[in-house]
Amino acid sequence: MPSVYDDVMELAKRRGFFWPAYEPYGGAAGLFVLGNMGVKLAEKITRVWKDIFVRRNDFTEVDTPNLVPEAILQASGHVENFKDPMAECLNCHKRFRADHLVQEAGKDLKHGMDLKELLKDVKCPSCGKNLGWEVSTFLTMFETRLGPYTNSKGYLRPETAQGIFVEFKRIFETERERLPIGVAQVGKGFRNEISPRQGLIRLREFRMLEVEVFFDPEQPRCEMLGNSELEREVTILKEEKEKSVMLRDGIANGIIVNEWMGYMMFLAQEFLNRLGIPNESIRFREVPEDERAHYSKQTFDLEVNIDGYGWLEVAGIAYRTDFDLSSHMKATGSDYTVAVPLAEPRKEKVKRWGINIEKLKERYPERWKDIMKEYSGIKDRTGDIPKSIAGIDIDKDVFFVREEVVEVMHRKFVPHVVEPSFGVERLMLASLCHSYKVKEDRVILSLPSYLSPVSVCVFPLVAKEDMIRIARGYERRLKLAGFDTFYDESGSIGRRYARADEVGAALCITVDGQTLQDSTVTFRDRDTWKQYRVRDNMIEEEAARVVYQVK
Amino acid sequence: MPSVYDDVMELAKRRGFFWPAYEPYGGAAGLFVLGNMGVKLAEKITRVWKDIFVRRNDFTEVDTPNLVPEAILQASGHVENFKDPMAECLNCHKRFRADHLVQEAGKDLKHGMDLKELLKDVKCPSCGKNLGWEVSTFLTMFETRLGPYTNSKGYLRPETAQGIFVEFKRIFETERERLPIGVAQVGKGFRNEISPRQGLIRLREFRMLEVEVFFDPEQPRCEMLGNSELEREVTILKEEKEKSVMLRDGIANGIIVNEWMGYMMFLAQEFLNRLGIPNESIRFREVPEDERAHYSKQTFDLEVNIDGYGWLEVAGIAYRTDFDLSSHMKATGSDYTVAVPLAEPRKEKVKRWGINIEKLKERYPERWKDIMKEYSGIKDRTGDIPKSIAGIDIDKDVFFVREEVVEVMHRKFVPHVVEPSFGVERLMLASLCHSYKVKEDRVILSLPSYLSPVSVCVFPLVAKEDMIRIARGYERRLKLAGFDTFYDESGSIGRRYARADEVGAALCITVDGQTLQDSTVTFRDRDTWKQYRVRDNMIEEEAARVVYQVK
């Protein structure tokens, strides 16, 4: 029996939500097309996300490039860490994710195990033979070069986040230098999967919804977290045990490492609810340390249960600490710190170096003037003694170091970051699977009405000229009022209702014989199939009530 | 004196519209970041585009991948044609666009001229020397590989259009197989420019708004083109002469090759008007044949005049004929034709081939059964005689060819395509430059109010607790009503108004002493600086009137 997951995949292809890309060319694994219904659904999911994650919190939004120079992803650790284990069949030379092969062979895989050893008796899924495996690692970023020089390597971003981190200082400035600050980004992420075979779930190119919240690690309070948020119950899966935890308790007893993590968990659950996913199908899986990304101190994978698939990860919520900003600071020498004024200025001892001019003249009689010129321009002399000045190597003993007491007016620090990161395609899938219903052998996509790709269908009961004219007029009015409308006059009205239900159209309006007499139309509810009549001057109001309601 | 263009570039960076990407890493030519103001402006420009180009015409929308396998871009002609001439300085080995170097040296460049010859006496802009140039061509697509195999070459798409063409048949099916059909796509385009030095204008990664309209070349009427559209005057630049042309006349006398081109020109002008660009700053430059892209039979570049820059191309409107669909049909063998029922079935003579079984048995006594088995499965025998069947080469004289009369019920054809293609960053620039005003030494960004990144600012006159509380409440109400709001309590009210004007905020609302007494607030108009009082129960209505008005 096909599962809801299979049914949704079939429906999605047939009705233009999404389908595998480039089929006339034999397809391209891991790439999908969104059709008209899919574009609208993705857009509306993004809008709900923005309401909850951006507008509600007065966060800001940016859009940084997909293309990233290598130096940035070297600094962020991706060039070193964004790799998957790869196994190549020594007979047919097909390549696979080594860990997936082991798991598919029914073996238990633990961190640090020898993959080559585990693959010894595994047959190749492609040629069916077992002539052994070559195991290596594969960098799963798409590599290219920026411009016409061979050494100008670049990558397609594996996450939108690095763009935000690199640009942090300018964003912070344009937003008037206040913490906490949330920076959101909607955009593509890319991952050159070795062998993607899971339809919409494992993609080489996907839509991300990311927020980076920057906060002062010494002031980790999240003001948005009130009682109604703190009393939210979430299901946490930790060390293979599920338990229900109230956010307040989770934060208090350290299961959730800080308030911002807790608040993002609250918003994430709220968001999924708005996509029609009930709490009993939502859990936060704490990612064990050996599975966590290199930048994270705590990560929860947000998972949704899907009939016919199981638990699907739709988001990661990670405490990235100051890892990324500090990495870019180290790599560039740019100052990514934030300064907050101290309540009271503080006296601090600092070591400052200087040059003993007599010694300098003696040691570098011909160059001392150049050196002094450069030296006088160096304002901050609190770091290490320099090895050279003005390009001239200078002996250590020409310098002196003095301890001074200075008045410190500001506390400087690198902000810490909490990040919720969603994948749009997986959210679409979760939302579609949870709204897929069958009633009297007919499919109803019972999407929350504000998510429906088509908000209102308008039909003339029969394709007669007067009904067509009136129906077209109503459709135009509704479109002008901002609804996503669909007009159709072909086939029986029952067939048209069925087609509308299948794409989850929130509402059908039919112009019939009675309309010509009393200017009322038939409104039909998607989920109950109940019909009622509405006067034509109230069409927009009633449509708005149906389409924009949050149940 | 700085021009409007320079002023806008400075303002854009300072206030967070856009800035060059990755500056802490020394920058990356041709890549820009959109800040919060830029994201909102781009979003609103896209919304207006959708209203005009998609919703108005009941067109459909898709979203295809940025990554494209090589075979597709080979078929489309891009691998062969998407190249720029490149000149490398033989002294410092810097690389440049050869044609740009020639033009910057003040020389007249005509198609087919010898670039190496023209560069003979041109000095390198980088090292200042002239040791000669090596001239070659450079493929300006970003190359990568899809998956872990070295031979799986792919590119980042140079236009969104190819995704639409390859997927045409499935899109056509999900949209119920009717022509004409318009397919829109919003997404990134990529172009690996050799040496981009023009800020936001020449980008390696940019946002595109594209529509492909597919129509029957034997039924080229565009139903949307009514009198009010046909009477629109446009300025056409043809062979270096500008003239005003009424669309009706342009279509009638062949200056505009078909009605769909005319209709797209109408919509394009309408669109620019809605972005605040007046007709006198708009012209359609007909691209001469030798400059046109390889797929186009007619192209108009849509240009906007910008103070301090000159004429800037913001869109191309191209008649692509059946070039792309036919190319993909040839490359894949997939059927990209559309069949329309004929009014009356037509009798047609066709030649059909067959096999002379006696001869076959005689000539291939051991294999004839295999051959017949395969042969009986071949349905269409109207093409050329095959060279082999079932992998066996077969002599020509084993076949016969017979002429038959068949009844043809459908006319089959490859649809023709007209395409308007806009670049969002250039539209932003055009719109910003045309709304940049200076009044009493202060900058006002006089954007059409529905484009303003910030719709409504809410201020308490002074930062007193009661005023703050009321102002925050109003801001929340306006945000819930869908406005992009901004709340600010810091600094003098004059300073806050000035900051609001600078980003083009459509409206400022101030809570003051009188509010506490009579529940009215001050509304302030951005362009006139006029103030008037509004009762607090009318705030949303009056804000909507100001923000959503089309002047």
pLDDT, one tens digit per residue, over B442-495 is: 999 999 999 999 999 999 999 999 999 999 999 999 999 999 999 999 999 999
Determine how β-strand B241-246 pairs with β-strand B233-238.
Answer: antiparallel
pLDDT per residue as tens digits for the range B55-77? 999 999 999 999 999 999 999 99
Is residue B514 exposed (0-12), middle (13-18) or buried (19+ Cβ within 10 Å)?
Answer: middle
Quick check: A103 and A320 in contact, CB under 8 A? Answer: no
Question: Which residues fall within 8 angstroms of residue B428, CB to CB, at 6 or more apart?
Answer: B17, B18, B38, B41, B42, B45, B200
Question: Which residues fall within 8 angstroms of residue B465, CB to CB, at 6 or more apart?
Answer: none
- Write out residues 211-230 of A within 8 Å (CB-CB) of B: none
Task: Find tokens 């070659």 and name the residue.
Answer: B136
pLDDT per residue as tens digits for the range A98-110? 999 999 999 988 8
pLDDT per residue as tens digits for the range B309-356? 999 999 999 999 999 999 999 999 999 999 999 989 989 888 889 999
Q: Do B148 and A21 touch (CB under 8 A)?
A: no
Cis peptide before A220 (omega within 30 of 0): no
Residue B502 is predicted with a pLDDT of 96
Mutation test of the interface with chain B: which of A18, A63, A88, A202, choosing the one with the most B Cβ atoms within 10 A?
A: A63
Phi-psi region of B367 (alpha: psi -120 to 50; beta: other; left: phi over 0): alpha
Residue A2 pLDDT greater than 80, yes or no: no
Q: Tell which residue, A75, A134, A102, has the closest CA to residue B148.
A: A134
The H or E element that residue A9 is part of is helix A4-14
The H or E element that residue A172 is part of is helix A168-174
Quick check: B101 and B120 in contact, CB under 8 A? Answer: no
List CB contacts (< 8 A) between B31 and chain A: 65, 67
List CB contacts (< 8 A) between B175 and chain A: 16, 36
B38 touches chain A (CB under 8 A): yes
pLDDT per residue as tens digits for the range B367-398? 899 899 888 888 778 878 888 888 888 998 89
CA distance, residue B192 to nearest chain A CA (Å): 6
Per-residue DSSP letter, A538: G
B28 touches chain A (CB under 8 A): yes
CA distance, residue A262 to nearest chain B CA (Å): 24
Give dist(CA A169, CA B527) in Å, integer. 32
List CB contacts (< 8 A) between B331 and chain A: 25
Q: Do A69 and B190 touch (CB under 8 A)?
A: no
Per-residue DSSP letter, B52: I
For B383-389, the CB contacts below 8 A with 24+ separation are: B385/B353
Question: Which amino acid type is present at position B151?
Answer: N
CA distance, residue B376 to nearest chain A CA (Å): 26
Query: Which of A16, A35, A62 faces B35 most closely, judged by CB atoms?
Result: A62
pLDDT per residue as tens digits for the range A480-534? 999 999 999 999 999 999 999 999 999 999 999 999 999 999 999 999 999 999 9
How many other CB atoms are there within 10 angstroms of residue B173's CB atom?
12
Q: Do B35 and A328 touch (CB under 8 A)?
A: no
Q: Tell which residue, A22, A21, A17, has the closest CA to residue A42.
A: A17
Q: Do A205 and B35 touch (CB under 8 A)?
A: no
List CB contacts (< 8 A) between B69 and chain A: 22, 25, 28
**Helical ranges in A253-350 per DSSP H:** 259-274, 323-332
The H or E element that residue B475 is part of is helix B465-480
A127-148: average pLDDT: 95
Quick check: A272 and A232 in contact, CB under 8 A? Answer: no
Predicted structure pTM score: 0.92
Which tokens is A75 given? 């600094």
A135-154: average pLDDT: 95
User: Which of B1-5, B260-264, B367-371 shows the lowest mean pLDDT across its residues?
Assistant: B1-5
Question: Which residues fall within 8 angstroms of residue A282, CB to CB, at 6 or more apart?
Answer: A234, A235, A269, A272, A302, A303, A304, A305
Task: Find tokens 């607790």 and name the residue.
Answer: B465
Q: Taking the alpha carbons of A533, A536, A539, A542 in that order, is the dihedral positive or negative?
A: negative
| Bridge partner residues of A89 (DSSP) | A133
Quick check: B288 and B237 in contact, CB under 8 A? Answer: no
Residue B1 is predicted with a pLDDT of 67
Reported as a pLDDT band with limits 50, 70 and 90, residue A551 is low
Q: Is B454 helix (H, G, I), strand (E, B) or coil?
A: coil
A174 touches chain B (CB under 8 A): yes
The H or E element that residue A436 is part of is strand A436-439
Q: Do B63 and A42 touch (CB under 8 A)?
A: yes
Q: What is the mean pLDDT of chain B?
A: 95
Query: Which of A30, A35, A86 faces B174 most closely, judged by CB atoms?
Result: A35
